[in-house]
Amino acid sequence: MDQTGMSTTSPKPLIESDRVEGTAVYAANGHRIGTIKCLVIEKVSGKVVYATMSFGGFLGFGNKLHTIPWEKLVYDPSLGGYRTDITEDQLRAAPTFTQDDDWSDRSRERDLHEHYRVPPYWISGF
């Protein structure tokens, strides 16, 4: 997986945000577990750091949104969607954010990164 969660094998170096939104996400076992609702961008660096995922009733999550570190998603052309190695158990236990949150609570972000065992983007220079 590359650092950004986006495949580098595509001949197209750029992608529009509104094409990513709505794209399916698949678990390691190939099951479709939800869709990407939007990307979350760090203002200072202009970098994509999270994707919010709608599970749409998959896995019994109802319509809750989950925030996933962007590097946990990798585009798989054969699936026409993103693949993640996040497990169902990890998703069920994950800290949740909603679109009404203001993203200004770094301690909650820290919890999220620890949960998914991904180095925080604001420290690693990711």
Count the Cβ atoms, other than its own, within 10 Å of residue 107: 7
The residue (of 88 and 120) whose beta carbon lies closer to a second copy is 120
The yes or no reply on residue 98 touching a second copy (CB under 8 A) is no
Residue 37 touching a second copy (CB under 8 A): yes
Q: Give the other-Cβ count within 10 Å of 120's Cβ.
A: 15
Which listed residue (33, 34, 35, 50) binds a second copy by CB under 8 A? 50
Size of the residue set binding a second copy (CB under 8 A):
40
> Is residue 23 near a second copy by the rule CB under 8 A?
no
Q: Given candidates 28, 99, 111, 114, which one binds a second copy under the rule CB under 8 A?
A: 99
How many angstroms separate the CA atoms of 35 and 93, rounded?
19
Q: Judged by CB under 8 A, which of 24, 56, 94, 103 binds a second copy?
A: 103
- Whether 28 contacts 85, CB under 8 Å: yes
Residue type, 96: T
Strands 24-26 and 81-84: parallel
Please identify, using beta-carbon distances, which residue of 48 and 91 lies nearer to a second copy: 48
Q: Is 42 in the site for a second copy (CB under 8 A)?
A: yes
Name the residue nearer to a second copy (CB basis): 29 or 78. Answer: 78
Beta carbons of 111 and 120 less than 8 angstroms apart = no
- Comparing CA positions, the residue from 5, 2, 1, 23 lying closest to residue 69 is 5
Closest separation in Å from C-beta 47 to a second copy:
5
